[in-house]
Amino acid sequence: MTSDTAASDAIELHDENVATELSAIVEQLLAEAKKQGAHESSATVSDSISVEVSARERDIENIAYEQGRAFRVTVYVDQREGTAVTSDVTDAAIRNTVEQAMSIARYTEADPCNGLPDPDRLATEFQNLEQSFPQPVDIEQLKLDALLADTTTLDYDPRIMPAHGASASQTETCAVRGNSLGFLNANRYTVYGRSATALARSDSGMQTDYWYDQNCQSECVESADFIGRKAAERAIRRLDPKPIETGTYPVMYDRWTAPSLLSPLLDAISGGTLYRQESYLQDSLNTQVATKSMSLREYPHIHKRIQSRNCDADGVSTTEHTIIEGGVVNTYLLGTYSARRLELTSTGHAGGVTNVHVETEFTPIDELLKEMKRGLLVTSLIGSGTNLVTGDYSCGAAGFWIEDGEIAYPVDNVTIASNLDLMYRGIVGFGDDTQNRGTFKTGSILVDSMTVASN
């Protein structure tokens, strides 16, 4: 054993100066780009540290410590673009990385849409979005959390078998973005997470499910025993599925699967999809594409949310948008490049959306089920069968058969299929059971009719 062991067992998290340190590297990259002849450039440097502990069969299984830093530099020479990325963090790497980006820019073709955002679009005001709540790593506490989540899962029901276990993790990231127009923004955020998987077994076979939660504040993450119980409960309720008859039925996406129903709509009105002519919603601005009762509004600056941000990946300021208003496309989602391609202006969506809320008249979930009467409640989706070009939609699904507005039995191994256009227009209700774990804030969503295929 070496003498320094005890001391270096402690995990070093970012110190106060990390943003200053990374900002200096960004400025070095930009200066080097200028020196090598770039007319414009942008650079990003990120550094993250994370610890994840997993437990399985009531014992600790893995402890993983991760530390990673990466640079990315994009240079523009006469509207020709080159990008280089490296995880080599030595001083020589700065020069080499810029050289590589420059060598690529020498060979790519000029594109008048290339280049940094117009200076007046760059974010100048930076609210403290309160996304960073660092705390020292308490490895013993992470172990206890992972063990508790695993144990709670296993103790929930005799039909629960040891499977993939549970985990607890903590991550700290600092990312600094800058460009040659003088834009410089440092962002720090923390992510605390807990998860559990459960395997349930009965005579008819095995079913797995999982549960997780994450938050930038440690104390806001759902407790380890709650996570463990929830995973077990979800696996148990899927046991002993029954086949159903292939046919056309109402389909309700529960509140956890509802985001995957909505996200293709946003993909279809995103700049990249549109300028490549890969969207079934080409030329859809100001046209009706979904039910009149649905609006989608984006709130980029909600405090203490991992998804929030002051500016997009180009440095363009983010603002509140009503993306879909009463089923009508109110704005496309554009970054700097895609906006120029479409002869529009950036909406601050390089890198995607932030917090998107469904705004509608919500129906109490029990009433919505009653309204549905008979059909499929989807609680889990598998496979990606969405074709944005045509709108064709076909996805593997599992959930519950609804009879007289109540859960009758679990259903597994079915596909649900339709066309996105019909589906969004065919939404007939939104449950009041809203959740807000990821990008979307939404309740369950009822679609009037889809083809359900079963064996």
Partner 1 sequence: MSDSTAQSRQALLEQAELTDQDLALNVSDMMNRQIDDAELFIQHNRSEAWALEDGKVKDGSFSVSQGVGVRAITGEKTGFAHTNELNERALRKACTMSASIADRGGNRRAETPEAVPFRRLYAGGDPTAGVTNDDKVRFLSELDHFTRSLDPRIVEVSISIRGSTDRVLVYGSDGTNQFDDRPLVNCRIHVIAKDGDRTESGTEGSGGRYPLDTFFVDDFATTKDMAREAVRMAVTKLDSVPAPAGEMPVVLGPGWAGVLLHEAVGHGLEGDCERKHTSCFAGKIGEKVASELCTVVDDATLEHRRGSLSIDDEGTPGQRTVLIEDGILRGFMWDKHNAILTGNQSTGNGRRESFASLTIPRMTNTFMLAGESDPEDIVRSVTKGVYCSAFSGGQVDPSSGRFVFATTEAYLIEDGKLTSPIHGCMLTGYPWDVMNSITMVGSDFALDPGVGTCGKQGQGVPVGVGQPTIKVEQITVGGTSA
Question: Binding to partner 1 (CB under 8 A): which residues in 94-153?
Answer: 97, 100-101, 103-109, 111, 114
15 binds partner 1 (CB under 8 A): no
Give least dist CB 238 to partner 1, A: 8
Give least dist CB 123 to partner 1, A: 25
Torsion of CA 120, 123, 127, 133, to 10 degrees: -170
Q: What residues contact residue 428 under an 8 Å CB cut-off, 6+ apart?
A: 250, 291, 371, 446, 447, 448
Can you tell me the distance from the alpha carbon of 299 to that of 328, in angstroms, rounded to the nearest whole number?
A: 18
Can you tell me the distance from the alpha carbon of 335 to that of 52, in angstroms, rounded to the nearest whole number?
A: 34
Give least dist CB 46 to partner 1, A: 11
Give least dist CB 64 to partner 1, A: 4
Give least dist CB 248 to partner 1, A: 6
Token pair 């095995």 in the structure block, residue: 206
- Residue number, 317 or 418, with CB nearest to partner 1: 418
Q: What character string, x for contact with partner 1 (CB under 8 A) and - otherwise, covers 146-185?
A: ---------------xxxx---------------------
Residue 109 near residue 288 (C-beta atoms within 8 A): no
Q: What character string, x for contact with partner 1 (CB under 8 A) and - otherwise, covers 302-331?
A: ------------------------------
Give least dist CB 431 to partner 1, A: 25
Angle at which helices 224-236 and 139-155 pack, to 10 degrees? 30
24 binds partner 1 (CB under 8 A): no
Site for partner 1 in 196-215 (CB under 8 A): 199, 205-208
- Residue number, 196 or 296, with CB nearest to partner 1: 196
Site for partner 1 in 268-307 (CB under 8 A): 275-278, 280
Give least dist CB 332 to partner 1, A: 18
Query: Regarding beta strands 59-77 and 375-382, do their DSSP bridges make them parallel or antiparallel, or are they unpaired?
Result: unpaired
Q: Which one among 186, 344, 408, 453 touches partner 1, defined by CB under 8 A?
A: 453
Residue 375: CA count within 13 A, CB half-sphere: 23
Q: What character string, x for contact with partner 1 (CB under 8 A) and - otherwise, covers 39-68?
A: -----------------xx-xxxxxxxxxx
Tell me whether residue 124 is exposed, middle or buried, using C-beta atoms within 10 angstroms of its C-beta: 0 to 12, 13 to 18, 19 or more.
Answer: exposed
Give least dist CB 249 to partner 1, A: 10
- Residue number, 230 or 309, with CB nearest to partner 1: 230
Q: Which one among 150, 412, 433, 448 touches partner 1, defined by CB under 8 A?
A: 412
Listed ranges 18-26, 150-158, 181-189, 376-384: which one lies at the site for partner 1 (CB under 8 A): 376-384
